[in-house]
Amino acid sequence: MKVFILSCLLAVASVQSIAAQVLIAPESANATTSNALLRSTATPVTTLSSVQVLAENDLEIGGAKFPFIVLPDAHSGALSAHTCEKLGEKLYTVQDGALLSVQKMLGQHASKQTQFYISSADASSCSILTMTNGAASINHKAVCSAPLPALCSNTNTKGSTVTVQASLGRLTGLRDKHGFRFNGIRYAQPPTGKRRFGAPVPITSRWYDSVDATKFGSICPQPAGGSDDCLFLNVFTPKLNAGKTDLLPVMFYVHGGSFINGAGSDPSFDGANMASRGQVVVVTINYRLGVFGFFERVDAGISRSTIPGNQGVRDQLLALKWVQDNIASFGGDPRQVTAFGESAGGHSIRALLSMPVAAKGLFRAAISQSDPLDIPFNTPKSASQVVSGGIMNQAIALAPEESFMELIKPTVDGILIKDQFDQLIAGKNGGVVKVPFMVGTMKNEGDGFLPSLGQSAPVNDVVFGITADAFLGYQRAMITAAYNLYPIDDSIPDATRIVEGLLASDYLWVCPTQFHTKAWASQVGTPLYQYQFQRAYTPTRPVSDICHGLVCHGDDIGTVFASPAILNNPSEYPWTSDDAALSRMVMDRWIAFGVSGGNPNPTNKSLSDEYPAWPLYDASKQSIYMFDLKPTISTGGLRPKFCGFMDQALKYDFQLYV
């Protein structure tokens, strides 16, 4: 569905290394095969041990403050200084104003080490920072021979590159004050020629030299352009060469866009702040969209051995498999992967949860943001009709930014997905992937889509019946009118569209989400948490915008990611202290869910005591976390009168779908 996209797309400049590239890994055996598919450079490298970037990241304008680099391996003072120089840095100078922040970061994320070499003004001795019971002190007259970890500055980041040794070869990415980023990593062979409508093919050949991972890869074909050669992913990490016991949890994000738009390189999904604040590894991906991602013609006798279908979903599976095989090279723990996504990305999470065989072991927790759960998976017949009957072209012509009803979507193919989600939750046809699950909605999910129905300005009350008919069909629209659950108060400006937004939100998101959460809590048995946003970050909207003052579909993205594209551009995207506070609250709970493998309540006392605890959802209490500047816990479900009506009188599309 619709994705919140920043209007200013950031250009990624060509980056030149400020020095010889630094290899963060032991030298490996010589590569045996050159892979011409990958951008390579032959820059010489020098070897460096493990590194971790820490900073105080309160998600305020400007992002991370007091950034520094931890070198956890023990060396003498002189060798520590030399190691910092390999990164183009010096031993860290701990100024008075930074000491408490440094103390906090070391206590939270580098607790295994207690002493560190730092910068010294006296050439005859060394300075050592010591952590004792969480408090930092500095000795400026220490000897320099003791083998200790060290802290380096992290200021010379413009044009700074770093090279890691992955399983198939070296990749060169960028370093900034948040950590490290590796863009445009190819996780599959190009889906071109005979592979265009096939399952994605993994890359297995090793390559020579270093692959350039400083630039994003091409986006997949969509109305705004793109290239068939688009199966790339991006990694944001604060740690490299972590060692098997110090790997970080992984947050794997699937973008939305009605399965016809979007890319993992959208600056809205920049994972730098999440990676920095949470000390997690963030992965964003491209996957095939539109007919290239979901082509079906079984009605025309084309077998699944020729065209398997669900190509976009298969891309997501292969990207998750890539994470299992490679993410340790970027500091990530393949055993601690949380898959999350918004809108069509949330629908993708639903699809991944519906594949207990294909997705087994690929993630240990899942977060679904604003999945329009009343929109069922396609059947092979309906999927074939979409591509063969030109329905998709008509939808795009009417609503070029999104197909309101997600005509292109995953299919119950009998191979990966064997039934609709409600039936799988009930344990039929293999059931679901049994992992902890977080799911939720926005307060005004449907309002932003009304312009797609030609309602860019207020309309009279007669239009409500036409809109209800478009959503529900004639018979169910008449039942809705008869119960008069959505009355229009003509004394309120724009009353018709307000009521239409309520109907759309209830019908596609709020009520079907609660239907599924009650079923999940009763029948699946894994930890379940539900939320709704009562407030989120929204860039300045004119009064004429239908979502002015509302919490619309996609508004959670800015709050969840606090992208540097927002924080570093306050004149274009005003980011207030309230926005930052809400983002900290939300991001910390997403991170806690990923770090713990299924509990969104932070274990850090300063984070957990500030707001109410988030209770487990159960089918009787129906406790829901209501995100606002002062969050609350709602019980008894959202809009019970309306959702009860939909449960009992109208039923849902996934129940009526054939």
Q: Which of 89, 342, 402, 445 is catalytic?
A: 445
Q: Which amino acid is at 209?
A: D
Respond yes or no: is residue 572 known to be catalytic: no
| Summary count for the chain: helices (H), strands (E) | 19, 23
Element (H, E) at 405: none
As given in the structure block, the two tokens for residue 355 are 């594949």
Respond yes or no: is residue 296 known to be catalytic: no
Distance between CA atoms of residues 237 and 332, nearest Å: 8
In three-state form (DSSP H/G/I as H, E/B as E, the rest C), the secondary structure along 554-614 is CCHHHHHHCCHHHHCCCCCCCCCHHHHHHHHHHHHHHHHHHHHCCCCCCCCHHHHCCCCCC
Q: Per this entry, what is the length of the chain? A: 658
Question: Which of 530, 509, 194, 505 lies closest to 371 in space, CA to CA?
Answer: 509
**Which residues make Cβ contacts (< 8 Å) with residue 37, sequence separation at least 6?**
186, 189, 190, 203
Distance between CA atoms of residues 445 and 430, nearest Å: 31
Q: Which of 265, 553, 563, 596 is catalytic?
A: 553
Distance between CA atoms of residues 242 and 279, nearest Å: 12
Could you tell me if 573 and 4 are in contact, meaning their C-beta atoms sit under 8 angstroms apart? no
Respond yes or no: is residue 89 known to be catalytic: no
DSSP bridge partners of 366: 339, 437
Could you tell me if 209 and 247 are in contact, meaning their C-beta atoms sit under 8 angstroms apart? no
Q: Which of 120, 127, 268, 343 is catalytic?
A: 343
* Secondary structure of residue 537 in the 3-state scheme: coil
Distance between CA atoms of residues 376 and 569, nearest Å: 39
Residues belonging to the active site: 343, 445, 553
